Amino acid sequence: MNAQIPADGSAQMAQTRPLPRRIAFLIDRLVEAVSVATLLAACLLAVVQVFFRYVLNNSLPWPEEVARLGFVWVVFLGMALAIHRDAHLRIDLVDRLPGNFSATISVGVRVVMVAAACAALAHHGLELVSRAMGATPALRIPISYLYGAVPAGAILGLGFLVAAPPKPLPVWAGLPLVATGYALYLGFVGPFVPFITQFDPAAVLVVVALALVTAGVPIGFAMVFSVLAAFAGQPPLLLLTISQNMASTVNSFTLMAIPFFITAAAIMNAGGITERLIGLAAHFVGHLRAGLGQVNILTSVMLGGVSGSSMADAGSTAKIMVPEMEKGGYPRAFSCALTSASAVLANLIPPSLGLIIYGALASVSVGALFIATIVPGLLVALALSITLYIIALRSGYGAMAPKSSAGDRWRALLPALPALALPVLIVGGVRFGVFTATEAGAMAFVYAILCGTLVYRMLTVERFFTAFREATQDTIVVMFVVAAASPFAWVLASQQVPQTVGAALSSMAGSPQMLMLLIILLLLFIGLFMEMIAAMVIMVPVFVPVIMAAGLDPIQFGVVIVLSLVIGALTPPLGMLIFTTARVGQISPSEVFRAVIPFVAALIVVLLLVAFVPVISTGLLAMIGP
């Protein structure tokens, strides 16, 4: 993930930019400061809630409400920041075509479509604010303040596109492209309606979304615009549900666990934890055949217990391990492929952001999901390790290194123990009801600060705020996709697509096992074209009722759906993990896609075992108890 954040030196560079870009830069920094401060305050409010409950034995009614309201504003103001920085999640296939002209056209199309989506959010978001009635339960804050975040972020995003369109577009191109986008929006609520209404709304939704995503439009905005297209010809009030659903989805205390864990991981890494975990892994498995590759896998196991984000782990591990593996005789493409494949462990070793989202969508215990995924996660690590060993034997990669002494291992283990204790704290605390998943994320944030300052002594004020800025941007791009997927899923539900899919799958499947296999095949196909988080927000409400009606365990299915979709991050054309490591390793993604094939095959084998041997995911949970 790790969206691009302007470096400190960019303030001097900004002085040489055209005036509109300089103004946009200053507004960017101001909004970023507000967003970072708001998210930091939300973290502290969650910690205060835990303190009052356990120390003073008196839970306060207002901290959660204030934290959620602030979080909504962070996401939608941050949406505009990510527009300015061109940091939203998207498939950049068109950008990779040869020639500057094709890249310029791609960026122009992206600006037009983002502007059209923002125009819809601004217009109908403002109408929603004017119509909203009621207040929050604790502080009686007007609910319009919650919904106002959506049009505010959309208007700010439009301003950024006008003043500072993404490069290589010149400044003068911003206004006409935004005007084109605005005209396109007006067309879909006016002259184009008779034509669009000839088609089924669900078909319009899916076709428009896939076309825009393939063209390189950011995933979130592609979904927003596809919902607008699907609503063509419907009563105008239905357009208000786009902004309403987006704001209401983000207004979730459970989903606030995502920024807390992302922030905790960023601070742990800023405190030097990544290097220590790699060193620890090297002492324990570095002497094995393909030792550096085994270190890569074991590091991902340990980092996964800190971050919960595959994208974050892929980026941080690749920076260190890919150059080291290349020095050790591994081809660069193979090193990137192994790093990408092992990064999936972050979504299978608690705390997993994918499991948190699934728990919120499926209304199942996040603590139970954390326990259920431990054995499958370790099984994935074992499968990758065996695959690596076989490839190394056949190809001659990775000669064996001297074995570390017990003393060296002990000296490497001691400084890593605080980081290794974090997953135990999180899983145990959530599972046994000490705190919620969100509060666990807030406590992990505090724990990361204590480790970085008191234990590792590498977390300076400057490194803290740099890490927090990066974590804030990562949170924004993830949560905006979650928010945009909500109205998308709502349209599917209103058109009874879940019931249609469920009936079709049930008629094709003669048993629960066959149903599970069909769903897995469909999920693997969806993962080829859709980012994991967006796919989960759309597909979980579709599949969970189907599998529960068939008598399948929703906890087990949570592990299956996360593993199925995260495999999509290793396959073309989306392959976000591949693109991340290829960018760090400065190599063509196509070479990495070819090198990752054996590891994808190993992951699919584990996926089938988890799907058809329930004890793998439910056994540990049964031992620990409800």
Proportion of the chain above pLDDT 90, given as a percent: 24
Give pLDDT, residue 4. Answer: 46
Proportion of the chain above pLDDT 70, given as a percent: 93
Contacts of 469 (CB under 8 A, 6+ apart): 5, 32, 36
Cis-peptide, bond into residue 168, ω within 30° of zero: yes
Find out whether 476 and 79 touch, Cβ atoms under 8 Å: yes
131-149 pLDDT per residue, tens = 988 888 878 889 999 999 9
Give pLDDT, residue 306. Answer: 67
Find out whether 79 and 478 touch, Cβ atoms under 8 Å: no
Find out whether 165 and 175 touch, Cβ atoms under 8 Å: no
Token pair belonging to 88: 């939203």
257-311 pLDDT per residue, tens = 888 888 887 887 787 777 777 778 878 877 777 778 888 888 888 877 666 677 7
pLDDT at 582 over 50: yes
**pTM for the predicted model, two decimal places:** 0.82
Across 157-164, average pLDDT: 93
Residue 134 and residue 124: Cα distance in Å, rounded? 19
Across 315-320, average pLDDT: 76
Residue 525 and residue 547: Cα distance in Å, rounded? 18
**C-beta neighbour count of 402 within 10 angstroms:** 8
State the amino acid at position 542 in one-letter form.
V
419-435 pLDDT per residue, tens = 778 777 777 777 777 77
Mean pLDDT over all residues of the chain? 83
Cα 440 to its chain centre, rounded Å, is 19
Give pLDDT, residue 625. Answer: 61
Give pLDDT, residue 496. Answer: 78
3 state SS for 290-314: CHHHHHHHHHHHHHHHHHCCHHHHH
363-410 pLDDT per residue, tens = 888 888 888 998 999 999 999 999 998 988 887 776 566 777 778 888
Highest mean pLDDT among 41-50, 211-220, 436-445, 552-561: 552-561
Highest mean pLDDT among 208-217, 541-550, 602-611: 602-611
